[in-house]
Structure 1
Amino acid sequence: MLLRNVRVVPVGGVPAPQGSVDVRMRAGRVIDLAPTVTPDPRDSDVHDGEGRWIIPGLWDHHVHLAQWADTLSRLDLSGTTSPDEGHRPDPSTPRHTAGERRGQCGRRLRSSVGDLGPPAHCGRARRRVRAAPGRSRQR
């Protein structure tokens, strides 16, 4: 493989070449590094690095095991076109009668964005909204 036009990050106190260089690799090892390397028919791939940095011997060897578990509690917003769509109720969600809703007032609503407080139909939530600064008092 031949990497053209790359910049080498200095590692371990060893000075790196100034400016862009070409790097030839075979079997995972650097075999040639120079300002310009002549292409060889044995170079299986030739890539232009466009001035990007390369780091010799870097292997990022860490993982975040909990990240996959966190995805189970996230809300999939991939089909939305604006932030407001993520807050609108799903029209297919069944509507509850007033009697059914009264039983829910003791619990708090939670979502992937945090604690939303009691459901909006509960008295405490309505009082809090009416008392919020800048809101007109409606009964």
Structure 2
Amino acid sequence: MSGTEASPAIDFAQLVANIGDAVVVSDAEGAITVWNAAAERIFGFSEPEAIGRSLDLITPERHRARHWHGYAKTMKSGVTRYGTELLRVPALHKDGRALSIAFTVGLLFDDGGSVTGIAAVIRDETSRWNEERQLRRRLAELEAEQTGSPA
């Protein structure tokens, strides 16, 4: 394509709908405003079940206070390190199963520069996390065998 040709328009709704990772957008209060098919696959909640609900829907109860503290700080400051750093946290599936997810976020701003929401791109890493946990256990067992002490 030469520099004089126009690039094709990107249909961002189609992109969000069809991307393999979950795209979850929440407003300034933490209510879910966008929930794509991958979010439904990962978390088990349909779009109608998720839209308008709090992020508590997928946040384990024991982590909610910390989550909301960070969320409020981000809303107030307009700054997050998780735009470039991958955040790994536990999450909940609709059926109550624990999940391990990894995500980055992008802040959404209004014309005045105030944060209006957060867009997260989320991947389910439960299988990888479980495999690593098993490997760490096995390594501890092997190390214990070599030193002659119980694991």
Structure 2 length-normalised TM: 0.21
More helix by share: 2
Q: Which has the larger radius of gyration?
A: 1
